[in-house]
Amino acid sequence: MKRDFYVLLFTAVLISVMGIINIYSITHLSSSHWMRQIVWLVISVVAAAILFHIDYLRVYNRRWILYFFTILLLLIVDVMGMEGGGARRWLRLGSWNFQPSELAKLSVIIIISSFIDQKWRPEGWNTADLIKMFLLVCVPAGLVLVQPDLGTAGILIIIGLLLMVISGMRLKTILYIFLFFLITLPVMWQFMLDYQKARIIGFLNPYSDPLGKGYHILQSIIAIGSGGIEGKGFGRGTQSALRFLPSRHTDFAFSVWCEERGLIGAVFLLGLYAFLIFMILRISFYAKRRFGSFLVIGIAIMFMVEIIINLFMISGMFPVVGVPLPFFSYGGSSLLISFMGIGLACSVIWDRITGRFV
Amino acid sequence: MLYHPHNPQHPAFQRKVHLLFVIFSVFMGIILLRFVYLQVIQYERWWRLSERNRIRNETLYPERGHIYDRNGQIIGDNRPSFDLYIIPDECKEKCLFALQRLSFLLGINYPFLESSYREWLKTHTPFEPFLIKKDIPYDSLIKVEVERLFIPGIYISQIPVRRYKDDFAFSHLVGHLGEISESELKTLKGKYALGDIIGKTGIESVAENFLKGEKGWEQIEVDAFGRKVDLLNVKHPVRGSGVYLTVDMRLQEFAHSLLEGKSGTIIAMNPKNGEVLAYAVNPSFRASDFVRGIEKRKWHKYISDENAPLFNRGSFALYPPGSTIKPFFAIAALEEGLINPNSTVNCPGFMWIGNRKFRCWKKEGHGRVSLIDAIAASCDVYFYRLALLLGKERITKYLSLFGFGKETGMVLEERKGLIPALEKDYTAGEIANVGIGQGSILVTPVQLLRAYAAIVNGGYLVKPRFIMRISEKDGAELDPPLMEKLPVKDNTLEIVKKALFEVVNGKMGTARWLRSATLEMGGKTGTAQVVRLEKYKFYREENLPEKYRDHALFVGFSPFNDPEIIVIAIIEHGGYGSTGAAPLVKKVIEKYYELKK
């Protein structure tokens, strides 16, 4: 049982180490990103171990504190955060930056899981509860959206919605929500910022502006495709070495991996991710309480959505929305929160080990 | 509790979790297929593209809009121009070899090229192309193409550049191009990039917005030799709009040929609507020297040339009008009722003003002359008297009425000229001198031409127009026609016009040897004195060194009734107006009728 935690931790560390090698290959000539990422990895592993050993019900008891703390951080970022790429996303802590929108993912998962735990009813959600849950998701999602960070805000909404669906939503309600989104989509378009619109247009027609937003996608596809089956080898990513790929160590890190390691490397990593998700989802069966199982499912959904969106994005099947690949992309906050997710999910294993019955 | 459908151990719940994993797996499968598609099936294509900066983004320069004459004959179109570059990143260690070979093929000084290349490398990345030579001639291009496979890193760009049908005849009208300056770049923010070519003077500058067209770009894939392998994406440039000028190409070229070896201006205009039919200025410059931005060496040659070939004499030169100003004094005096056209004045050949003797150009004098005779024979004494009779205020009023001393409002850059100022005091002698177009009066050729047009077209002061159409649109957008009816009696104008006819056709006319029954030409001669040194005072005109000779002026129109063409010729140091300028005007008018047939 406890072995599950070590297997998961090992898998995550393995992906992270490959990520660091990848970051090293891309940026070692110009910066020490890779060293920072190692420091973050050590911190993250420790954090995961601590969370694993903490009884997750203690988290459950402090959920509101965590939730409002997150909202406070998001407000601070919105008001006085650091600018980066035209958006305010970071909080500065000494020489390290932290992205509260990453923390928001965990907070939303915890608050929704506990809501499900308390209010669950066998016949499915009623409208009032759905609206309450939706509001719980929308407050942090809205604060993230105005940073502006379309990708993370979208992920928060998707996590919330999927948790609601799995915990028992009536078919009719699902249809209504679907219709609602269909109708609000054009309205949302009106409120989007120019650069966000440009990205979506660039995605729909990458050739519309090859020097602008479509450029990212085209360059990323060239990087992936040119890797072939075996890849060009370590440090040989010509696309990256020549710096044609922007955000090559963050959102597009996997493109470079594909270029240097080819299809073999890509499949290996995809396999690791699938294994990781499988292992996490399995833990949901160990829980003795709904909170535990939905907490685990929520964390799994978080990873799934991030992985799918990122990979779709870099291979030109989804607009560039700025979602990092968990464990793999450069970025301390993302790494820390991902490992904390692993630790939190694994702490549910204790239900099975101790045979606790709540 | 335990067997609740949402208890983690309940099979219904577990089914949902399994379903979630299946959905995730489907997405991962899609991603896997996509990667297989990109990395296996399309591998070749992407691999080719990824090879060392093999995608190039290039600006495609538009063709500049053509310039046509009134009949649609091309005055300026475009030709391809080739620039030769090398890209250091592509020739690597063979760059110096490439430079050496290319300098040999193009006949460039190699040590100089190498040192400028090394200098350039310090401030640029190796991916940027290094310019070896701009606008290489076609035969050099062929030589380079032949050896291209052996010289790595070559890059040849092709852009359209302006080509003029006649390099000299239209230069001052069409103007010249040039590389955009920093101040222009600032004021025209966003529309241009560094190194762009822009109209600097003349029509090229006036119609810049219409001529310039729209840039495009292309994304091309090139191989290691810089040759285009594949066109990935393109936005075609859009050619600028065509501009149709009012001039007749053949008339302009003819007029320009008449100026061969002379300094001066011939301008022909339709007096009814101000459409300029010919605008010839000499000395002129080679317009093609400017099409890609002029080289410093050539520029210095132009500005140090004492004949001032860049000087637009048609609109910018100021000349004393000489006798050509006389008809306007006649109009002023008639309008003010100071004279009777039939009353006569005796011209003994001179006149005392104060204690100075003012001479008539004809030493023996004209005898008794009426107004018409005075204009026809260009009697100076008559006009000394008229000027004194009118006085400064009325002179200024009528001169400015006919557009002297102010801009004509035409699209080309111009100068105002000079007329006696109201606030200044003049001696009687100075006023008398203005009566024969000397002293405090300076005019541009265009000013003088349109003032005459107002006499012969029934009193309308027209704005000279140069742009007839822009593509299919009316040129009025850029060069609107403008006409002003002068408050002058028709009768007055008729009398003066008759006098102008007598100049060519009368017994006493100063240009009587140009008389032609078919042309029905009228006009006025003028001889503008050039300040000369004391020692040349008593020289005969023909024996003077050229730069001290007088300027010859003539304004002529045809036919007498309802004139359709009016021409001015000003020949610097051309001697007498009747011999230096008038024959040229006659030839232009003859040519006009010949072309009309």
How far apart, in whole angstroms, are the C-alpha atoms of residue B100 and residue A98? 56
Cβ of B8 and A286 within 8 Å? yes
Q: Which residues of B touch A281 (CB under 8 A)?
A: 17, 20-21
Cβ atoms B522, B504 nearer than 8 A: yes
B101-128 per-position pLDDT tens digit: 899 888 888 999 999 998 888 777 666 7
Question: Residue B78: phi, psi to the nearest 5?
Answer: -135, 155
* Confidence (pLDDT) at B266: 96
The answer to whether residue A304 neighbours chain B at the CB level (below 8 Å) is yes
Q: Which two tokens stand for residue B290?
A: 């400017």
Q: Mean of the per-residue pLDDT values for chain B?
A: 88
Side chain identity at B278, as an amino acid letter? A
Cβ atoms A185, A197 nearer than 8 A: no
Cβ of B35 and A224 within 8 Å? yes
Q: Which residues of A touch B57 (CB under 8 A)?
A: 210-211
Cβ of B52 and A317 within 8 Å? no
* Rounded alpha-carbon distances, angstroms, from residue B552 to B269, B278, B323, B576: 19, 19, 10, 5
Query: Residue A122: helix, strand or coil by DSSP?
Result: coil
- Strands (E) located in chain A: 82-84, 87-93, 96-98
B225-281 per-position pLDDT tens digit: 556 667 777 888 999 999 999 999 999 999 999 999 999 999 999 999 999 999 999
Q: Give mean pLDDT, residues B378-402.
A: 93
Q: Tens-of-pLDDT digits for all 358 residues of chain A?
A: 788 999 999 999 999 999 999 888 877 666 778 888 999 999 999 999 999 999 888 999 999 999 999 999 998 887 776 555 545 667 766 666 778 889 999 999 999 999 998 888 877 788 888 899 999 999 999 998 887 788 889 999 999 999 998 888 888 888 888 888 888 888 877 777 776 776 666 556 555 554 455 567 777 888 888 888 988 887 766 555 445 565 667 788 898 899 889 999 999 999 999 999 999 999 988 888 889 999 999 999 999 999 999 999 888 888 777 789 999 998 888 999 999 999 999 999 988 888 765 4
How far apart, in whole angstroms, are the C-alpha atoms of residue B492 and residue B501? 14
Question: Residue B471: phi, psi to the nearest 5?
Answer: 50, -120
Cβ atoms B28, A269 nearer than 8 A: no
Question: Residue A91: phi, psi to the nearest 5?
Answer: -105, 135
Q: Which residues of A touch B56 (CB under 8 A)?
A: none
Cβ of A223 and B219 within 8 Å? no
Cβ of B20 and A226 within 8 Å? no
* Rounded alpha-carbon distances, angstroms, from residue A126 to A130, A170, A171, A295, B230: 6, 9, 12, 21, 59
Residue B546 DSSP code: G
Within B175-325, residue ranges assigned H as helices are 182-187, 202-206, 208-211, 249-258, 296-304
Q: Which of residues 255-294 of A touch B (CB under 8 A)?
A: 258-259, 262-263, 266-267, 270, 273-274, 277-278, 281, 284-290, 292-293
Cβ atoms B588, B268 nearer than 8 A: yes
Q: Give mean pLDDT, residues B315-341.
A: 93
Query: Residue B369: helix, strand or coil by DSSP?
Result: strand
Lowest model confidence (mean pLDDT) among B12-21, B454-463, B545-554: B545-554
Residue B345 DSSP code: E
The answer to whether residue A168 neighbours chain B at the CB level (below 8 Å) is yes
How far apart, in whole angstroms, are the C-alpha atoms of residue A227 and residue B367? 105
- For the purposes of burial, counting CB atoms within 10 Å of the CB of B101, is it exposed (0-12), middle (13-18) or buried (19 or more)? middle
Which member of A120, A225, A270 has the closest CB to residue B42? A225
Helix (H) or strand (E) holding A199: helix A194-204
Vertex B69: Cα angle to B64 and B74 (nearest 5): 50
Report which listed range, A21-30, A170-179, B416-425, B525-534, is most confident.
B416-425
Q: Which two tokens stand for residue B61?
A: 């320069």
Side chain identity at B569, as an amino acid letter? A
Q: Which two tokens stand for residue A334?
A: 């993302």
* Confidence (pLDDT) at A204: 60
How far apart, in whole angstroms, are the C-alpha atoms of residue A225 and residue A259? 7
Lowest model confidence (mean pLDDT) among A272-281, B70-79, B146-155, B431-440: B146-155
How far apart, in whole angstroms, are the C-alpha atoms of residue B314 and residue B562? 25
Q: Which two tokens stand for residue A253?
A: 């890190």
Q: Which two tokens stand for residue B443?
A: 């005019």
Side chain identity at A223, as an amino acid letter? A
* Rounded alpha-carbon distances, angstroms, from residue A358 to A330, A343, B83, B345, B450: 40, 21, 81, 134, 106
How far apart, in whole angstroms, are the C-alpha atoms of residue A258 and residue A32? 22
Q: What is the largest CA-CA distance in chain B?
A: 139
Q: Which of residues 186-225 of A touch B (CB under 8 A)?
A: 207, 210-211, 221-225
Cβ of B38 and A224 within 8 Å? yes
Cβ of B6 and A273 within 8 Å? no
Q: Which residues of B touch A297 (CB under 8 A)?
A: 17, 20
Provide the shortest C-alpha distance from residue B279 to chain A (in Å): 46
Share of chain B above pLDDT 70, in %: 92
Which positions in chain B have a beta carbon within 8 angstroms of at least one beta carbon in chain A? 4-9, 13-14, 16-17, 20-21, 24-25, 27-28, 30-32, 34-36, 38-40, 42-43, 45-47, 49-53, 55, 57, 127, 217, 219, 232-233
Cβ atoms A223, A256 nearer than 8 A: yes
The answer to whether residue A240 neighbours chain B at the CB level (below 8 Å) is no
CATH of domain B56-245: 3.90.1310.10
CATH homologous superfamily for the domain B312-596: DD-peptidase/beta-lactamase superfamily (3.40.710.10)
B24-40 per-position pLDDT tens digit: 999 999 999 999 999 99
Interface test with B, best of A226, A275, A356 (most B CBs within 10 A): A226
Task: Give the number of residues written for chain A.
Answer: 358
Provide the shortest C-alpha distance from residue A209 to chain B (in Å): 10
How far apart, in whole angstroms, are the C-alpha atoms of residue B495 and residue B339? 12
Burial B560-583 (b: 16+ CB within 10 A, else e): beebbbbbbbbbbbbbbbbbbbbb
Cβ atoms B162, B291 nearer than 8 A: yes
Cβ of A239 and B45 within 8 Å? no
CB atoms within 10 A of CB A154: 17
pTM exceeding 0.90: no
Side chain identity at A325, as an amino acid letter? L
* Rounded alpha-carbon distances, angstroms, from residue A291 to A59, A60, A132, B48, B367: 11, 8, 17, 53, 127
Where are the domains positioned within chain B? 11-41, 56-245, 312-596
Which member of B14, B16, B46 has the closest CB to residue A221? B46
Query: Which ipTM value was assigned to this complex?
Result: 0.90
Which member of B24, B38, B52 has the closest CB to residue A315? B38
CB atoms within 10 A of CB A345: 31
Provide the shortest C-alpha distance from residue B19 to chain A (in Å): 10
How far apart, in whole angstroms, are the C-alpha atoms of residue A274 and residue B340? 113
Side chain identity at A108, as an amino acid letter? V
Phi/psi-derived region of residue A322, left when phi > 0, alpha when psi is between -120 and 50, beta in every other case: left
Q: Which residue of chain B comes nearest to A304, CA vs CA?
A: B24
The sign of the torsion formed by the CA atoms of A135, A139, A144, A145 equals positive
* Confidence (pLDDT) at A96: 67
Cβ of A229 and B39 within 8 Å? yes
